[in-house]
Amino acid sequence: MSGLMPARLWCGALVAVSLAISFAVRAQTPSTADPHAGHKMMPMPSAPVSADAVAKSGQRASQNDQPMDMGSMQGGSPPPDARDPHAYSDGYDFGPYPLSMMDSHSLASLLVDQLETVRGEHNNSTAYDLQAWYGRTYDRAVFKGEGDVDGGKLAEARSELLWSHAVAAYWDAQLGLRYDHGEGPNRSWLAFGVQGLAPYWFDVELTGYLGEEGRAALRLDSEYEILFTQRLILTPRVETNVYSKGDTRRGLGSGLSDITAGVRLRYEIRRQFAPYIGVEWAGKFGETQDLAKAAGENVYDSRVVAGLRFWF
């Protein structure tokens, strides 16, 4: 029993000190009814943040947000000899946020999501998929391009020039033009849709199109990133197209036209530069499948891909 007495004394002393500190802190609290009394709260953003800004450029402060009173949060005004926070800005006062974090300057970015060699069961080709934007947090000009080069010729390509506007947290509404070129006659479309980050971190692009001669189309593109490590990332992706009317000169039928699904495993040597390998499956359906069979083309294809993903 005598050996346990020192331990009990130490436990009692620790409990007593903890109670004393707790009573001292409560005595200095202005109001027990408001847990935030005496503190200035950081304001919530007054407008949604662009999904593209979060995913590719980092969240930025809204232009309508009021600066946070850092002096009050630290317990009062800074001392007279405090270091000048703008001493190294050549006289420019950017406020509490860096100038690049505010919605007062236009920025730009280019993401080449896929630049790859494709080896299929029946032929080889080169494919690209890229997206570039220029603008601010809420309004941006966006260019999207996707296509295949087969035998040194552009076999199929889609280019879109869009105006993108943030309408909710992680979501942009987009409006603009689409232009199809490559084999067959060129086609122009009016494009409208949404792009963003769905629940559970799915990247989603859903776009509708209105074309010539009463044509309409719908395109869905979705992918998901699975991080094995901070550098090794597996990305499953699915893309599908639906058309309201057939376009035999471009080998397209009405209804569900095609589905492409694949996975790519990339290793980010740097965040901006990552080689990858992967596999992909593509299939044509409905009237589009019938047109492909009539032209002697393959309706299903399995592919091995290898390429680079980079952005700046």
Question: Would you state the pLDDT for residue 104?
Answer: 72
pLDDT for 27 beyond 90: no
229 assigned to some structural domain: yes
Q: Backbone dihedral region of 251: left (phi > 0), alpha (psi from -120 to 50 degrees) or beta?
A: left
**pLDDT tens, position by position, 263-286:** 999 999 999 999 999 999 999 999
Q: Tell me the average pLDDT across 7-24.
A: 48
Cα three-residue angle 260-128-146, rounded to 5 degrees: 70
Residue 257, token pair as written in the block: 């036209």
**pLDDT tens, position by position, 66-89:** 444 444 444 567 677 666 655 555
Residue 206, strand partner residues = 194, 220
Residue 120, token pair as written in the block: 């299929």
Q: Tell me the average pLDDT across 227-243.
A: 97
Question: Would you state the pLDDT for residue 55?
Answer: 45
Domain count, the chain: 1
Question: Would you state the pLDDT for residue 152?
Answer: 84
Instruction: Give Cα 306 to chain centroid, integer Å.
Output: 23
203 assigned to some structural domain: yes
For the chain, the average pLDDT equals 79
The amino acid present at 282, given as its one-letter code, is A
Residue 12, token pair as written in the block: 């009692």
Residue 145 burial by Cβ neighbours in a 10 Å radius (0-12, 13-18, 19+): middle
**pLDDT tens, position by position, 85-112:** 555 555 555 455 454 455 678 999 999 9
Residue 165, strand partner residues = 139, 173
56 assigned to some structural domain: no
271 assigned to some structural domain: yes
Q: Tell me the average pLDDT across 24-48.
A: 40
115 assigned to some structural domain: yes
The parent domain of residue 286 ranges over: 107-311
Q: What is the greatest pairwise CA distance in the chain?
A: 98
**pLDDT tens, position by position, 135-184:** 998 999 999 999 999 888 899 999 999 999 999 989 999 999 999 999 88
* DSSP summary character for residue 58: -
Closest residue by Cα to residue 294 from 246, 255, 245, 262: 246
73 assigned to some structural domain: no
Q: What is the CATH number of the domain that holds 206?
A: 2.40.160.40
2 assigned to some structural domain: no
pLDDT for 21 beyond 90: no
114 assigned to some structural domain: yes
Q: How far is residue 170's CA from residue 110's CA, in Å, rounded to a whole number? A: 19
